[in-house]
């Protein structure tokens, strides 16, 4: 039986302890732990890594302080456009959605696209129509309203800027990676994108190989960062390639991409990754990253700031 492993993230960026109250930090840490426990319980019961990462991501989407699902930021017109993706490493199957509104849990739509359509990515109204066919839950605009997010949007409108997220500069994507007892890897990522984004902008999260990737031969990866740079660097797939073609370890491959390749093009952020041996890597080149992991060796850790 393979080593059971799950890791989650809730975004990276300028996350500083001096800007965090003890109560708020506790809320973040509890949400990360809840996501880990939810996913791990599925793995421990013999469930698949795909189901584990999906369930963990649902927990994070339902937590209003993360920029995904309920906590998604406002776009330029005052609405919410969400993106998500899932991928499983056994057969390289993947599903993704982008530019969707009203769907309570975009990651469930991404999983449904993978499992119940012949496509990989659906967008906008077509994706929402498919979500209704799947019987997924929809919510009103009031469900996605969050006062802090609204104020951020108003400030961005006044300044005429597209803002990465909040807390000065934060990439508020959420995601999970896991290895199950059968040795299968999976990854999931979900995001609300950038505050005040225009023109149907899409970041790296739903793009397979950029923000999300899984291959049993190498690793599973979920990214959080400045999406345009992560797309250009094809971050998630590049880590897999460094392992497959150069024989690098998971940590070595992650270090090359996050601390060298991304930095050279001005890419800020981080990622979580797991390999077929149950190793995890949680590198980031920003001030902090909401992150954690749990495994069947007794490892369990949740962190926000740099060590």
Task: Kindly state the tokens that stand for 19.
Answer: 């800007």
| More confident: 20 or 303 | 303
Q: For residues 241 and 246, give the distance between their C-alpha atoms in angstroms, rounded to a whole number.
A: 7
C-beta of residue 186 within 8 angstroms of C-beta of residue 47: no
Which residues, at least 6 apart from 39, have a Cβ–Cβ distance to it below 8 Å?
A: 6, 8, 52, 53, 55, 56, 176, 178, 294
Domains of the chain (ranges, CATH numbers): 5-295 (3.60.20.30)
β-strand partners of 191: 83
The 10s digit of each residue's pLDDT in 180-210 is 999 999 999 999 998 888 899 999 999 999 9
Does pLDDT of 165 surpass 60? no
User: For position 6, what pLDDT does the model report?
Assistant: 98
pLDDT at residue 170 tops 70: no
Query: What is the structure's pLDDT at 171?
Result: 65
Report residue 91's pLDDT band, with 50, 70 and 90 as the boundaries: very high
The continuous run of DSSP H or E covering 22 comes out as helix 22-44
Q: Which of 167-171, 173-177, 214-218 has the lowest mean pLDDT?
A: 167-171
β-sheet bridge partners, residue 295: 5
What is the reported pLDDT for 194?
Answer: 87
Least confident of 106-110, 170-174, 245-249: 170-174
Least confident of 67-76, 219-228, 240-249, 263-272: 67-76
DSSP E strands, 80-191: 82-88, 94-100, 121-123, 170-171, 174-179, 185-191
The residue assigned the tokens 């739509």 is: 109
Residues with Cβ within 8 Å of residue 223, at least 6 apart in sequence:
173, 175, 189, 204, 205, 210, 211, 212, 230, 235, 236, 269, 270, 271
Could you tell me which of 259, 202, 213, 216 has the C-alpha nearest to residue 238?
A: 213
Residue 11: how many other CB atoms lie within 10 Å: 32
pLDDT at residue 268 above 90?
yes
Asked if 173 is an active-site residue, the reply is yes
Q: Tell me the pTM.
A: 0.95
DSSP 70: G
Q: How big is the CA angle at 93 (ends 98 and 107), to the nearest 5 degrees?
A: 35
The whole-chain average pLDDT of the chain stands at 93
Q: 166 pLDDT exceeds 90?
A: no
Element (H, E) at 162: none
In this structure, are strands 212-214 and 219-225 parallel, antiparallel, or unpaired? antiparallel
Catalytic residue among 173, 189, 191, 212: 173
Report the pLDDT value the prediction gives residue 169, as an integer from 0 to 100. Answer: 53
Element at 300 (helix H, strand E): strand 300-305
Tens digits of residue pLDDT in 16-75: 788 889 999 999 999 999 999 999 999 999 999 999 999 999 999 999 999 999 999 988
């Amino acid at each position: 039986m393979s080593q059971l492993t799950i890791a989650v993230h809730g975004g990276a960026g300028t996350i500083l302890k001096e800007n965090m109250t003890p109560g708020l930090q506790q809320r973040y840490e509890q949400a990360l732990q809840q996501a880990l426990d939810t996913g791990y319980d599925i793995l421990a019961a013999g469930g698949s890594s795909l189901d584990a990462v999906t369930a963990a991501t649902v927990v994070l989407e339902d937590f209003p302080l993360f920029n995904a699902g309920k906590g998604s930021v406002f776009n330029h017109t005052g609405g919410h456009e969400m993106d998500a993706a899932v991928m499983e490493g056994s057969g390289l199957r993947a599903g993704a959605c982008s530019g969707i509104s009203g769907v309570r849990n975009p990651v469930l739509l991404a999983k449904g696209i993978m499992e119940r359509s012949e496509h990989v990515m659906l967008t906008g109204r077509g994706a929402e129509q498919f979500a209704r066919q799947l019987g997924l839950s929809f919510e009103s605009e009031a469900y996605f309203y969050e006062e802090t997010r609204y104020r951020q949007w108003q400030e961005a409108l006044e300044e005429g800027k597209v803002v990465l997220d909040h807390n000065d500069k934060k990439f508020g994507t959420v995601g999970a990676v896991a290895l199950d007892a059968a040795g299968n890897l999976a990854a999931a990522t979900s995001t609300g994108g950038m505050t005040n984004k225009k023109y149907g902008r899409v970041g790296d999260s739903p793009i397979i190989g950029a923000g999300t990737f899984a291959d049993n031969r190498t690793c599973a990866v979920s990214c959080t960062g400045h999406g345009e740079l992560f797309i250009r660097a094809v971050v998630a797939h590049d880590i897999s390639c460094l392992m497959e073609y150069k024989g690098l370890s998971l940590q070595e491959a992650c270090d090359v991409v996050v601390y060298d390749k991304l930095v050279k093009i001005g890419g800020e952020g981080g990622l979580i990754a797991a390999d077929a041996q149950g190793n995890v890597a949680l590198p980031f080149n920003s001030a902090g990253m909401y992150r954690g992991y749990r495994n069947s060796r007794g490892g369990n850790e949740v962190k926000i700031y740099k060590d």
